[in-house]
C-alpha cells in the first residue's frame, strides 16, 4: 500500500519533507499485465503474468491486459498478437478490452501539454554531452543536471523532460518491504517524450494505470527504482495512485543474468500449456497443482496462492 511511514532523516538524507501519497482503499482490486512486444513471452515474463493473475484473482479482482508498444521502432504487431494467443492458450484470460499504448499517443500528449505542462521543459542534451559534463564535473552521469531548465526550448523539435519533486516518498512493497525514495535525487528530471515524438514508458504507464483504475501493480524488481517517479507523475496529473505495489524477484539464468529478450531468453512454447503452467508455479515457489486443463489448474493455483514465499527475495533461478 502506498503510504508515508514515520521517518527520522539522517544527515546524508535529503532535507525535503516527506509527501503524503493519497489513496482510496475503497476501490475494487484491479491488477494488470503489461508486456512490451519487442519479442515473444519468455519464462521471466510468463512468471510475472501468472503471479499477477493469481494474486489479483485471489483477491476477487479483475486482471487487465495492456500492450506497452509506444516504442514503434522496437515493437512489432506480430509479437503483440502472439502474446495474446499465448495467454489464451495458458488460460490467462483478461478482463475488459486490451489496451494498445501505440493507439493512445494523443492522450499522453494531452496530459503532457495540460496538467503536466508546468513541470515539463524541452531538452537538447545528448547522452554524449551529458557523459562529458559528468566526467568534467565528477558528477553522477545518471542524474540530469538540469542544463536546459529555463531555456524554453521548442518541445516539437526537442525531447521533453518532466521535473520530479525533491521529496521523500515512502511506500510499502508487498514483496520487498518498506521503500523510501526521493524521485529528484534517484531519477532526476526524466525524459517523458523523445525527440522523435515517442512517449517513454514512465509517462504512458503512469497515465494508463490511473485511467484504468489500477489498484495493484505487480511487476519485476528492475522497475522498482521508477516507482517514486510514477507516484509523482500520477499525483501531478490528478490521477488516482496505486494502493498496492509488488516487485517480484527477477528470474535469472545459470549465468546470473536476468531473463530478457536482450539476453536471448528462449520464447515459451505453449504446445504443452499444462506443463508450462506447472513450471511457472514451481519457479514462483507455489504449491503444486494437479495436471488438468489450464483453466482448472489456474483455479487451483489461485485458491492456494501464497505471496509470503516470495517476500524479501530479489532473484529466482530459472535453471
Q: Does the structure show a pLDDT above 80 at 23? A: no
Of the given ranges (87-101, 109-123, 138-152, 276-290), which has the lowest mean pLDDT?
138-152
pLDDT in tens, 142-190: 889 999 999 999 999 999 999 999 999 999 999 999 999 999 998 899 9
CA atoms within 13 A on the CB side of 137: 11
pLDDT, position 8:
27
- Per-residue confidence band for 255, with pLDDT thresholds at 50, 70 and 90: low
Residue 171's DSSP bridge partners are 2, 179
Instruction: Give pLDDT, residue 139.
Output: 86
| Mean pLDDT (whole number) for 26-43 | 94
Domain extents in the chain: 30-255+263-285+304-317
Residue 218 has pLDDT above 70, yes or no: yes
* pLDDT for 29: 98
Confidence of residue 140 (pLDDT cuts 50, 70, 90): confident
CATH class, domain 30-255+263-285+304-317, is alpha beta
Tell me the pLDDT of the chain averaged across its residues.
90
248 to 49, 145, 167: CA distances (angstroms): 11, 32, 25
Mean pLDDT of 228-252: 95
- Judge residue 21's burial from the number of C-beta atoms within 10 Å of its C-beta, 0-12 exposed, 13-18 middle, 19 or more buried: buried
The residue that leads in pLDDT, 114 or 318, is: 114
pLDDT, residue 263, reads 52
Residue 316, C-beta contacts closer than 8 angstroms, at least 6 positions apart? 47, 249, 250, 251, 252, 283, 284, 285
Average pLDDT of span 233-256: 90
pLDDT tens digits, residue range 37-49? 999 999 999 999 9
- The answer to whether 203 touches 232, Cβ cutoff 8 Å, is no
State the Rg of the chain over Cα.
20
Amino acid at each position: 500500500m502506498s503510504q508515508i511511514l514515520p521517518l527520522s532523516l539522517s544527515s546524508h538524507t535529503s532535507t525535503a519533507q516527506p509527501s503524503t501519497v493519497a489513496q482510496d482503499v475503497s476501490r475494487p482490486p484491479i491488477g494488470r499485465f503489461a508486456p512490451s512486444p519487442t519479442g515473444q513471452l519468455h519464462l521471466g515474463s510468463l512468471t510475472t503474468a501468472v503471479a499477477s493473475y493469481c494474486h489479483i484473482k485471489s483477491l476477487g479482482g479483475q486482471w487487465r491486459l495492456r500492450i506497452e508498444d509506444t516504442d514503434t521502432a522496437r515493437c512489432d504487431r506480430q509479437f503483440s498478437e502472439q502474446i495474446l494467443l499465448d495467454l489464451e492458450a495458458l488460460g490467462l484470460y483478461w478482463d475488459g478490452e486490451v489496451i494498445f499504448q501505440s493507439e493512445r499517443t494523443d492522450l499522453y500528449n494531452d496530459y503532457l501539454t495540460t496538467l503536466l505542462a508546468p513541470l515539463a521543459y524541452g531538452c537538447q542534451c545528448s547522452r554524449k554531452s551529458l557523459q562529458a559534463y559528468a566526467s568534467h564535473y565528477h558528477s553522477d552521469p545518471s542524474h540530469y543536471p538540469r542544463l536546459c531548465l529555463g531555456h524554453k526550448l521548442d518541445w516539437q523539435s526537442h525531447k521533453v523532460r518532466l521535473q520530479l519533486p525533491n521529496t521523500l516518498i515512502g511506500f510499502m512493497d508487498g514483496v520487498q518491504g518498506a521503500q523510501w525514495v526521493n524521485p529528484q535525487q534517484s531519477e532526476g528530471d526524466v525524459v517523458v517524450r523523445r525527440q522523435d515524438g515517442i512517449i517513454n514508458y514512465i509517462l504512458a504507464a503512469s497515465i494508463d494505470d490511473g485511467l484504468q483504475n489500477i489498484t495493484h501493480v505487480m511487476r519485476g524488481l528492475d522497475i522498482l527504482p521508477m516507482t517514486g517517479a510514477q507516484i509523482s507523475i500520477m499525483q501531478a496529473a490528478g490521477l488516482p495512485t496505486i494502493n498496492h505495489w509488488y516487485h517480484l524477484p527477477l528470474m535469472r539464468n545459470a549465468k546470473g543474468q536476468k531473463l530478457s529478450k536482450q539476453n536471448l531468453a528462449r520464447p515459451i512454447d505453449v504446445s504443452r500449456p499444462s506443463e508450462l503452467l506447472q513450471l511457472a508455479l514451481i519457479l514462483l515457489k507455489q504449491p503444486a497443482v494437479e495436471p488438468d486443463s489450464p483453466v482448472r489448474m489456474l483455479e487451483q493455483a489461485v485458491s492456494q496462492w501464497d505471496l509470503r514465499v516470495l517476500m524479501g527475495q530479489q532473484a529466482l533461478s530459472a535453471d
